[in-house]
Structure 1
Amino acid sequence: MKNRYKVILIIVFILFFTITLNVESNNEAIILTYHHFVEDNPANSAEMSISDFKNQMEYLYDNNYNVISEDEFIKYSKEKSFPEKSVLLTFDDGYYSFYEYAYPVLKKYDFPAIVFPIISSMPGLENQPVYSDRLSFSDMRKLNTNSPTINIGSHSYNLHYYEDENPAIYQLENECCDDYNCRIRRDLRLSRDLLEDQLDKRDDLASLAWPYGYYTEKAEEIAKDLGYELIFKLGDRPYNPEEEIVSIPRYGVISGDLNHLKNILNDF
């Protein structure tokens, strides 16, 4: 009889422990993507009014979403489980509006993020401020110094332009395989080298986001070979750490009421 009670107690303990674990963590994370910020009247889906962004960040904060950093994302991915309601914030293209409008909101809530500038569009390699609608290397250095949890990744050096209406990440017409491989490697290496040199982060640049979310198997292979640890694409679904961290889906977030964001977060 005593042995039976012991077995029952053990089973109860195991069930309690399992339920507790499931409450505290799940296997997935949601990655949100933003681009350009304006004071009001967004002109397209890549623009967001700062009031809408403030409302979204307030919603994440008030509803206890666990906004994680790049380092935490890597850690939890390797552990194959994320804390409950884990969200990663990413910002593409490197607009100065991130620094002017979004960054103060992130600071208010102590939210980390990853910024992905298009390196060829960044003005000023010199160590002084440069006015532009894009973040300069000087701006990036300020972010790097003042906010250690705002990480900088690569959005390629110049793989956004189109040839015959095709993104440059794809092999161009009349371009042989060797030339394509060299072009992609040169672009991804240059973007990485410039960021690491200008931000004094030698061998410490972890993330790459594909332009428009497009990529090829060969481009992915080259990026991995160059040392990019986290590689992001687009895709309206959560990331499951059973997947590779070189093909991470992200949701594009649009301006407007909170329903769009709430619908995304309901995918947990």
Structure 2
Amino acid sequence: MSKRLLLTALIGLIGMTLLLSPLQAEKAGDVYYQDQVAVLMYHHVHDTDTSSSTITRKLLQDQLQTLLSRGFHFITLDEFRQYMNGASVPSNAVLVTFDDGYQSFYTSAYPILTSLRVPAVNFVITTDLANPLGSYIPSMSKEQISEMTHNTNFIDIGCHTDNMHHKLPSGEAALIGLDRGESEADHEQHVLKDAKACVGKLTPLTDRPLDAMAYPFGITSPAATAQVAKAGIRYAFTISPEMATRSADHLLIPRINAGSPNITPELLVRSIQRRVVAQPGHSPLRIDAASAAAQLGGTAAVEGGALQLRLGDTAFTLEVNARTATRGDARVKLQEPVLRSHGQVTIALDDLQALIGRPLVYNAATGTIAERVPLSVK
């Protein structure tokens, strides 16, 4: 090959390399993080309205589809609750949240979420329920909210205060600032009354717990947080752009903004990745294989130095210190070896899920394991 041809081929190869973004090199099976959750924040979805917190339907769909194709796993609010109390979540876990209870969630976001089977929670300003079309941006009606929460098991609602989503003349958020002539004690009672009103108005619209809240403007204070907790709020979200971990205060959960029109799908992936919390020495979650089989309705027995599991009509053989298992007549490669410790044969949770072909949720605090609840739409 002549030097000119070689140079031309080399330039072409370099050009192709530059055209391929890092995202294109990523695979759906890549693990970016484990045992933490990227909580995403959105507001308004509309094709003609414009603002720094409004995105089009196409951008929302492109973002969600990109995350799915890159191997991110969306979880429900209930799965997030369980995670914060010790349960496992899939790798690359994501919780989608929307603020303000806009009608565009029902008309624009909800069809996309249901078609892609992406769970979400919307934090509603409940004073708007009395006149949903009366505000500058129309809000959802009680009927629309009830339809979504009852027709799916993955669309949830939470509080965004009843009537404290505004700024005071002083410029402070109403949730934390003192209004004219208001004492600290008066303000605390005001916050408590407002939070109780929000919970009370939303409770009839869902069959699931009403214990989550997003602070207006993402701002709170120790006094305000204490009062919303008295109203029954157990999980409250800020706008601090970090990953959520179990070490986070349950009433100060961070969120990453995804709902601005300049956040392309690629930028969103990078935004999540650069906020991943480093976990030095993090080892795969291991579980007692025999206990797991029993809890999943199967049986376990030791035969010839190997653990024999049966789940339904399928038999599995786990050999200690091996990175393979037998499923029926087939050999299955494992990511981690099967180990014996203190009389228990343990297997990595990810390997057990791959072996049985079903997603599982394990709570290390209680030792319980169960299948993830499948998402459904009536």
Q: CA deviation at 1:242?
A: 1.3
1:244 correspondence with 2:249: yes
Structure showing greater radius of gyration is 2
Contact between 1:90 and 1:116, CA under 8 Å: does it hold in 2?
A: yes
SS of the residue 1:151 aligns to: strand
Q: Secondary structure at the match of 1:59?
A: helix
CA RMSD of aligned residues (A): 2.0
Match of 2:101 in 1: 94
8 Å CA contact 1:92, 1:155 repeated in 2: yes
Shift of 1:131: 5.7
Higher helix share: 1
Partner amino acid for 2:227?
A: I
Share of identical aligned residues, percent? 26
Q: Distance in 2 between matches of 1:63 and 1:52?
A: 16
Q: Which runs of 4+ in 1 moved over 4 A?
A: none
- Larger deviation, residues 130-139 vs 162-171: 130-139
1:71-220 equivalent positions in 2, closer than 5 A: 71-79=78-86, 82-123=89-130, 133-164=138-169, 165-172=171-178, 173-197=180-204, 199=205, 201=207, 204-220=209-225
* 1:36 and 2:44 matched: yes
Q: 1:72 to 1:51 in 2, by over 3 A?
A: same
> Which of 36, 39, 64 does residue 57 from structure 1 map onto?
64
Cα offset, 1:81, TM superposition: 5.0
Output the amino acid matched with 1:193.
Answer: G
Give unpaired runs (5+ residues) of structure 1: 1-22, 125-129
Alignment TM-score, normalising by the size of structure 2: 0.60
Q: Flag the structure with more relative contact order, 1 or 2, with Cα contacts below 8 A and sequence separation at least 6.
A: 1
Secondary structure of 2:99's aligned partner: strand
Q: Counterpart amino acid of 2:236?
A: I
SS of corresponding position for 1:26: coil
Which residue identity does 2:268 align to in structure 1?
A: L
Verify the 8 A CA contact 1:25 1:83 in the aligned structure 2: no
In structure 1, what is the Cα distance between the partners aligned to 2:32 and 2:83? 13
Of residues 21, 26, 30 in structure 1, which corresponds to 2:34?
A: 26
Which of 228, 234, 255 is the matching residue for 1:229? 234
> What amino acid sits opposite 1:239 in the alignment?
A
Segments of 5+ residues of structure 2 without an aligned counterpart are 1-30, 277-378
Q: Deviations over 1:117-149 (max 9, x none)?
A: 11111245xxxxx76721011111111111121
Equivalents in 2 of 1:131, 1:147: separation in Å? 25
